[in-house]
């Protein structure tokens, strides 16, 4: 429930007299003498002469009224009636006809807390009055209290009950007391014989009873009091100052604890708080009722939106009777074309029918809610919030004159002086250009307007703001635009002579289908312009279109001629080419300044962005796609206009700069990772001359195609190439600034060249060269690392770094990696943790570091050379480093490769490995490495097995040769061969060697013939390798015997075979 105080405010001055509307039937109209400027008063009943509505009550939900209705100025012939809150559908709910039988009248209806039940009194001629209750849902009537004696008067339900009531009743010696009937017993809670207490009303929990008393010698002045129940005892005026000269008080709501009552002497209806302090005069501080005027506050007087009800004869003039009047807060009025009427009070249950009536009666700053329906628009000359239906259907089908002097062209809403701060939302505007209905909103010189969720069809110039600042044009939809000797515009914000300023406006979240086309002028979806055509130029005027923002809009077309997505510029003349005042462009360069165009999607237009004579424009995060002439076109003056993070792809031409001066369009996506075409090196959308385009984005930056504009949802790739024109500060520094600005840890890929890298890195980044030689990508300047999560260089993508590198204080150096670079300066770490600076070449003088910097393994020669060794010899990085060191120890490349294998296998140092290779040779070391199973095996294979045994070198046993000559055997003898092998270092027997034998002879022609061959077996008992050669079949002669071992060595001796 709204608080009346919140809605009314606390006016103390005298307002204007408020005009009363006609009554519902139109039978009478007169001026309401009430002058509260915060309220609009209107009768909702149309009573004939002599008809009276009394004891009116508004249901808790604000939808129904109850009243006592009589047909004479007395209490006889009265009925209880139930009406809708707009005064219609009146029905009688009393149980019988008054003045029939013993029924004298029906009086004083009252509501239950939940609005389900209406109580009232049935007054009898002869028997005691009864209290009845009417159940609205069941349409039944029940008896609440039927005493046998005494007359029950003006009851009310106690708290939330529908069975317990409080009432007054005449007592002895002329007094009147208050009683409570609890369903079984009636209890006198005042018992004051010398006072008369009337009209008791319970609060929401039944703990406080409000009433008035008077008409006695003890209390001659009518006075409002309360009774407070404290532990079952009713005490008068606890914490309450009695309100003198008042009667018929009611709570404004069951839980509001404000009191509405009538001041007896003036007939003003006033509000007091729960302590009895004055709050506000509802009927107005300038009103005092004349003779015979009566005004009464209604039961449950405040409705859900702050409206309240009174009964009054102040509207009747000379006619007898009393009306039900609704007082509506001018701060919140309602319109409904289907169910409303401009004679209604403008509440949610009794709305006006026209928007113009709502605007007329609304207070400045008030809200007018407009239900679904078809309406004429309105002229607005005060701050007001026109709020259409949230579910749609509030259609403005006809307009009003777009200017005070012309009605030939119309607009749904015209904003005149005084309309600053107005809001219009949730409307549909159905323009009709053929009938001159061109505009949805047309305004001149009005500031701080909000236009939200307006759908407009077929506008010539939809939402138009001439010379207004601080506007918010949000979430509107333009469906179709029409060119009519001009126009074809969705949204227009502009300045001109007489309305020179249009600053700090916001155009955001609009969807525009701008399909208008014209042969000789542009038809843009959104325009921000200084229009100085038709002589509207004064060189002494100060024009200012600064700080305007065009954000998050979607504009689409089918490529029609001169269709434009967003147009911003100074319109200096008419004709084609423009016939302009000499020097006008130079004089007005700077008038349109500091404009932001961001996160818009412009697709399928002729020109995506059409920009001319601008200063300080920031164009970023826009999608420009499929535009049939150019994505972005610039003409005339151009100062400090910057284009960043835009997706410019699929246009006939990407960016054309016709200004004759440089424009900074670095860090944009041009549709291909190779960059823009035209003056650029790649195959993306073309750029013209005088466009800075490097660095550029290597991937499409948009990560959410469901939202307008570029939505950056992940890391970007930035390509840096030394292609002129160079941005201020240098190519790489521009990329670093961009990466610092973007929200994720990006990748900067630097093409070969020489760059300045002095821009501090303040956000996580991977900074690498293109794949190739570090010697070809040179970074000059000192590098400052002011962030964690930085990588500079990696294998095959390193740099030559000529300056110092410093991790700043407070940074987590353990997340920073500097690798595979040729570092020729100092590396310092002032942060926390250890900086990874491994795998770098530090020049001939070696590393120069400060702080905790890990440098090993380091590269002994340039990174390019190390990588060359890796590629040529298929080495790992560490092996390539060892290889380089071994070469420096004067090994040949072949020796160094063998030494590297030796180091990897057994952990030798470079010096140890070099020594072994030099001593034994590459073949021996290679063979030992190839066949060994462990280190001991390697030594045995490298050094050779030691041999032992008997005569002939321990290689045979048996006949002949005892004198040391050649052994001789007869044909048919067995030659017992033996070979003992021992480890050359440990002396232990070798038991698993492979020992082969071969027997051959030399033929007369000098060739050798193998006659026997085989493998000897190891005899564990003898601890030697053995075999017996059978000489059967051998021809007599001298034979060579070879015993070979798997350490690569062999033993040779000769034998002679003779005849038997």
Same domain as 823, residue 917: no
Q: Under a CB-based contact definition with an 8 Å cutoff, are residues 40 and 32 in contact?
A: no
Q: Looking at the structure, tell me whether residues 778 and 927 fall in a common domain.
A: no
Within this chain, do residues 88 and 155 fall inside the same structural domain, yes or no? yes
User: pLDDT category, 256, cuts 50, 70, 90?
Assistant: low
Residue with tokens 């961001």: 598
CATH of the domain at 145: 2.120.10.30
CB 64, CB 85: distance < 8 Å: yes
Distances in whole angstroms, Cα of residue 186 to Cα of each of 123, 135, 179, 750: 18, 23, 6, 97
Lowest model confidence (mean pLDDT) among 94-98, 366-370, 689-693 = 94-98
pLDDT (0 to 100) of residue 31: 56
Q: What single-letter DSSP state applies at residue 173?
A: G
368: pLDDT strictly greater than 50: yes
Same domain, 838 and 910: no
Of residues 140 and 47, the one with the higher pLDDT is: 140
pLDDT band at 32 (very low <50, low <70, confident <90, very high): low
SS3 string of 932-958? CCCHHHHHHHHHCCEEECCHHHHCECC
Do 85 and 201 lie in one domain? The reply is yes
Average pLDDT (100-126) is 91
Is 345 within a domain? Answer: no
C-alpha span between 270 and 776 (Å, rounded): 89
- Tokens 């440098």: give the residue: 855
C-alpha span between 437 and 671 (Å, rounded): 42
Which of the two residues, 1049 and 230, has the higher pLDDT score? Answer: 230
Taking 80 as the threshold, does the pLDDT of residue 257 lie above it?
Answer: no
Q: Which are the contacts of 1001, defined by CB distance < 8 A and separation ≥ 6?
A: 1008, 1009, 1011, 1035, 1037, 1038, 1039, 1040
Question: Which letter does DSSP use for residue 812 in this model?
Answer: B
Beta-sheet strand order (sheet of 246-251): 246-251, 259-263, 269-272, 278-281
Helix crossing, 877-888 with 910-931: angle to 10°?
Answer: 120
Write down the pLDDT at residue 74.
57
Is the confidence at residue 173, as pLDDT, over 80?
A: no
Cβ neighbours, 10 Å, residue 717? 16
Domain boundary (837, 865, 893) is at 865
Where a domain ends, among 865, 891, 917? 865
> Are 927 and 785 within one domain?
no
Residues 6 or more apart in contact with residue 360 via CB below 8 angstroms = none
Residue 346 domain flag:
no
Q: Decide if 671 is inside a domain.
A: no
Per-residue model confidence (pLDDT) at position 362: 97
Mean pLDDT along residues 322-347: 94
Query: Cβ distance 346 to 358 under 8 Å?
Result: yes
User: Do 295 and 289 touch, CB atoms closer than 8 A?
Assistant: yes
State how far the Cα of 326 lies from the Cα of 347, in Å rounded to an integer.
Answer: 8
Whether 650 maps to a domain, the answer reads no
Instruction: Specify the DSSP class assigned to residue 21.
Output: P
pLDDT of residue 292 exceeding 80, the answer is no
Q: What is the per-residue pLDDT for 1048?
A: 81
Task: Report the C-alpha gap between 654 and 634 in whole angstroms.
Answer: 11
Share of the chain above pLDDT 90, in %: 73
Q: How confident is the model at residue 71, as a pLDDT? A: 77
Is the pLDDT at 723 greater than 60? The verdict is: yes
Residue 112 belongs to some domain of the structure? yes
Determine what percent of the chain is predicted with pLDDT higher than 70.
Answer: 93
Q: What is the pLDDT of residue 12?
A: 25
Specify if 955 maps to a domain.
Answer: yes
Q: Does residue 559 have a pLDDT over 60?
A: yes
pLDDT at 30 over 90: no
What average pLDDT is seen over the chain? 90
| 427 inside domain | no
922/962 same-domain check? no
Residue 64 structure tokens: 């129904």
Coil/strand/helix, residue 970: strand
* pLDDT for residue 951: 33
Same-domain status, 824 and 963: no
Q: Same domain for 954 and 912?
A: no
Is 80 exceeded by the pLDDT of residue 808? Answer: yes
CA 890: distance to chain centroid? 66
Strands 332-335 and 423-430: what pairing?
A: unpaired
Q: How many domains does the chain have?
A: 4
Mean pLDDT over residues 812-838, rounded? 97
pLDDT in tens, 560-581: 888 999 999 999 876 444 556 6
Which range has the worst mean pLDDT, 244-253, 446-455, 821-830, 885-894? 244-253
Question: Residue 403's pLDDT is what?
Answer: 94
Grade residue 5 by pLDDT with cuts at 50, 70 and 90.
very low
Looking at the chain, how many residues does it have? Answer: 1060
Work out the angle at residue 353's Cα, subtended by the Cα atoms of residues 449 and 60, and round it to the nearest 5 degrees.
95
Q: Among 287, 309, 290, which Cα is nearest to 111's? A: 309
Residue 869, phi-psi category: left (phi > 0), alpha (psi -120 to 50), beta (remainder)? alpha
Q: What is the DSSP string of 374-443?
A: EEE-EEE-S-EEEE--TTS-EEEEE-EEEETTEEEEEEEEEE-TT-TT-EEEEEEEE-BGGGTEEEEEEE
Give 274 or 28, the one with higher predicted confidence.
Answer: 274
| Residue 952: band (very low, low, confident or very high) from pLDDT cuts 50, 70, 90 | very low
Band of the pLDDT at 959, cuts 50, 70, 90?
very low
Full residue range of the structural domain in which residue 990 is found: 945-1058
The answer to whether the beta carbons of residues 67 and 56 sit under 8 Å apart is: yes
* Residue 682: other Cβ atoms inside 10 A: 21
* Per-residue confidence band for 8, with pLDDT thresholds at 50, 70 and 90: very low
- Chosen domain end from 888, 907, 931: 931
Cβ of 495: how many Cβ atoms within 10 Å?
28
Angle, alpha carbons 397-398-399 (nearest 5°) = 130
pLDDT at 17 over 50: no
pLDDT tens sequence across 989-1021? 999 899 999 999 988 888 889 999 999 999 999
Q: What are the C-alpha distances in Å from 1045 to residues 100, 932, 952, 954, 995?
A: 143, 14, 17, 14, 5
pLDDT, average across residues 459-466: 97
Same domain flag for 83 and 176: yes
Asked whether the predicted pLDDT for residue 301 surpasses 70, the reply is no
Do 902 and 1050 reside in the same domain of the chain? no
14-23, 625-634, 822-831, 907-916, range with the lowest pLDDT: 14-23
Distance CA 851, CA 854 (A): 10
pLDDT tens figures, 403-441: 999 889 999 999 999 999 999 999 999 999 999 999 999
Shared domain for 949 and 886, answered yes or no, is no
User: Please, is 588 exposed, middle or buried when counting C-beta atoms within 10 Å of its C-beta (0-12, 13-18, 19+)?
Assistant: buried
Q: pLDDT tens digits for 673-707?
A: 999 999 999 999 999 999 999 999 999 999 999 99
Categorize the per-residue pLDDT at 962 as very low, low, confident or very high, splitting at 50, 70 and 90. Answer: very low
352 pLDDT band, cuts 50/70/90, is: very high
Give the mean pLDDT of 123-147: 94
pLDDT digits (tens, 9 = 90+) for 199-211: 999 998 999 999 9
Residue 349 lies in a domain: no
- Helices H / strands E in the chain, number of each: 10, 88
What pLDDT, in 10s, does the model give residues 99-108?
Answer: 777 888 899 9
CA 371/CA 336 separation, integer angstroms? 5
Residue 936: per-residue pLDDT: 87
- Ranges 281-290, 295-304, 342-351, 695-704: which has the least confidence: 295-304
Distances (CA, A) of 367 to 333, 559, 731: 6, 41, 55
For 483-516, the pLDDT digits (tens) are 998 889 999 999 999 999 999 999 999 999 978 8
- Give residue 553's Cα distance to chain centre: 15
pLDDT of residue 940: 85
């Amino acid at each position: 429930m709204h608080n009346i105080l919140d809605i009314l405010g606390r006016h103390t001055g005298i307002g204007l007299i408020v005009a009363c509307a006609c009554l519902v039937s139109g039978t009478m109209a007169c001026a309401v003498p009430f002058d509260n400027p915060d309220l609009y008063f209107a009768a909702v009943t149309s009573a004939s002469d002599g008809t009276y509505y009394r004891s009116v009550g508004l249901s808790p939900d604000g939808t129904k009224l109850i009243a006592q209705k009589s047909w004479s100025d007395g209490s006889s012939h009265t009925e209880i009636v139930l009406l809708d809150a707009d005064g219609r559908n009146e029905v009688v709910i009393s149980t019988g006809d008054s003045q029939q039988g013993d029924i004298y009248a029906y009086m004083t209806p009252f509501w239950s807390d939940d609005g389900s039940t209406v109580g009232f009194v049935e007054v009898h001629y002869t028997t005691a009055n009864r209290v009845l209750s009417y159940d609205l849902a069941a349409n039944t009537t029940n008896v609440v209290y039927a005493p046998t004696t005494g007359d029950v008067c003006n009851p009310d339900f106690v708290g939330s009950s529908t069975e317990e009531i409080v009432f007054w009743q005449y007592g002895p010696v002329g007094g009147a007391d208050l009683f409570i009937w609890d369903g079984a017993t009636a209890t006198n809670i005042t018992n004051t014989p010398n006072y008369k207490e009337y009209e008791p009303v319970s609060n929401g929990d039944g703990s406080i009873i409000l009433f008035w008393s008077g008409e006695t010698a003890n209390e001659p002045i009518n006075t409002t009091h309360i009774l407070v129940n404290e532990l079952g005892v009713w005490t008068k005026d606890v914490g309450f100052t009695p309100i003198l000269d008042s009667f018929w008080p009611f709570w404004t709501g069951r839980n509001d604890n404000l009191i509405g009552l009538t001041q007896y002497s003036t007939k003003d209806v006033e509000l007091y708080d729960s302590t009895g302090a004055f709050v506000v005069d509802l009927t107005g501080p300038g009103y005092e009722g004349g003779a015979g005027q009566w005004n009464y506050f209604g039961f449950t007087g405040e409705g859900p939106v702050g409206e309240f009800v009174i009964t009054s004869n102040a509207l009747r003039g000379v006619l007898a009777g009393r009306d039900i009047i609704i007082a509506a807060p001018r701060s919140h009025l309602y319109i409904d074309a289907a169910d409303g009427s401009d004679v209604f009070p403008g509440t949610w249950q009794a709305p006006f029918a026209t928007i113009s009536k709502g605007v007329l009666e609304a207070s400045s700053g008030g809200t007018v809610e407009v239900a679904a329906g078809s309406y004429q628009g309105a002229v607005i000359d005060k701050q007001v919030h026109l709020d259409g239906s949230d579910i749609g259907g509030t259609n403005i089908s006809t307009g009003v004159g777009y200017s005070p002097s012309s009605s030939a062209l119309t607009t749904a809403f015209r904003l005149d002086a005084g309309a600053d701060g107005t809001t219009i939302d949730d409307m549909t505007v159905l323009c009709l250009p053929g009938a001159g209905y061109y505009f949805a909103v047309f305004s001149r010189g009005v500031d701080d307007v909000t236009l939200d969720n307006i759908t407009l069809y077929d506008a010539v110039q939809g939402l138009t703001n001439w010379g207004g600042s601080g506007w918010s044009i949000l979430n509107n939809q333009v469906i179709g635009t029409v060119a009519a000797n001009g126009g074809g515009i969705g949204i227009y914000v502009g300045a001109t002579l007489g309305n020179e300023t249009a600053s700090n406006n916001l155009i955001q979240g609009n969807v525009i289908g701008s399909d208008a086309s014209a042969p000789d002028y542009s038809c843009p979806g959104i325009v921000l312009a200084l229009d100085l055509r038709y002589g509207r130029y004064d060189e002494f005027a100060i024009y200012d279109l600064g700080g305007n923002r065009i954000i998050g809009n979607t504009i689409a077309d089918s490529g029609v001629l001169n269709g434009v997505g967003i147009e911003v510029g100074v319109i200096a003349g008419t004709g084609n080419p423009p016939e302009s005042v000499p020097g006008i462009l130079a004089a007005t360069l700077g008038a349109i300044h500091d404009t932001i165009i961001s996160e818009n999607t412009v697709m399928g237009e002729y020109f995506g962005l059409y920009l001319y004579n601008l200063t300080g424009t920031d164009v970023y995060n826009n999608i420009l796609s499929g535009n049939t002439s150019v994505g972005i076109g610039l003409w005339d003056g151009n100062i400090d206009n910057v284009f960043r993070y835009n997706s410019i792809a699929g246009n006939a031409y990407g960016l054309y700069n016709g200004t004759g001066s440089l424009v900074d369009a670095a860090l944009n996506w041009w549709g291909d990772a190779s960059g823009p075409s035209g003056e650029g090196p790649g195959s993306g959308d073309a750029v013209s001359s005088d466009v800075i385009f490097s660095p550029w984005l290597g991937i499409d930056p948009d990560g959410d195609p469901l939202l307008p504009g570029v939505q950056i949802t992940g890391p970007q790739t930035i390509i840096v190439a030394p292609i002129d024109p160079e941005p201020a500060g240098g190519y790489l520094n521009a990329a670093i600034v961009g990466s610092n600005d973007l929200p994720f840890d990006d990748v900067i890929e630097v093409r070969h060249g020489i760059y300045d890298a002095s821009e501090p890195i303040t956000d996580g980044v991977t900074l690498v060269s293109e794949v190739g030689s570090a010697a070809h990508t040179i970074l000059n300047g000192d590098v400052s690392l002011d962030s964690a999560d930085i990588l500079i260089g990696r294998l095959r993508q390193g740099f030559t770094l000529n300056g110092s590198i410093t991790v700043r204080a407070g940074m987590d150096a353990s997340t920073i990696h500097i690798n595979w670079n040729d570092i020729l300066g100092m590396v310092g770490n002032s942060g926390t943790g250890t900086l990874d600076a491994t795998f770098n070449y530090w020049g001939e003088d070696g590393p120069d570091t400060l702080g905790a910097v890990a440098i090993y393994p380091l590269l002994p020669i340039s990174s390019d050379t190390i990588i060359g060794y890796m590629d040529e010899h298929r080495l790992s990085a560490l092996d390539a480093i060892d290889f380089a060191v071994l070469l420096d120890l004067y090994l040949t490349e072949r020796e160094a490769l063998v030494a590297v294998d030796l180091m990897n296998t057994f952990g030798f140092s470079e010096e140890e490995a070099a020594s072994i290779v030099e001593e034994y040779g590459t073949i021996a070391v290679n063979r030992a490495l190839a066949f060994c199973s462990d280190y001991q095996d390697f030594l045995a294979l490298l050094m050779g097995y030691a041999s032992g045994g008997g005569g002939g070198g321990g290689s045979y046993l048996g006949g002949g040769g005892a004198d040391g000559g050649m052994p001789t055997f007869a044909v048919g003898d067995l030659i017992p061969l033996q070979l003992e092998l021992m480890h050359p270092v440990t002396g232990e027997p070798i038991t698993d060697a492979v020992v082969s034998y071969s027997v051959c002879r030399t033929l007369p022609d000098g060739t050798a013939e193998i006659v026997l061959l085989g493998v000897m077996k190891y005899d564990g008992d003898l601890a030697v390798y053995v075999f017996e050669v059978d000489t059967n079949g051998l021809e007599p002669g001298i034979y060579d015997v070879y015993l070979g071992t798997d350490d690569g060595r062999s033993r040779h001796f000769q034998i002679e075979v003779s005849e038997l």
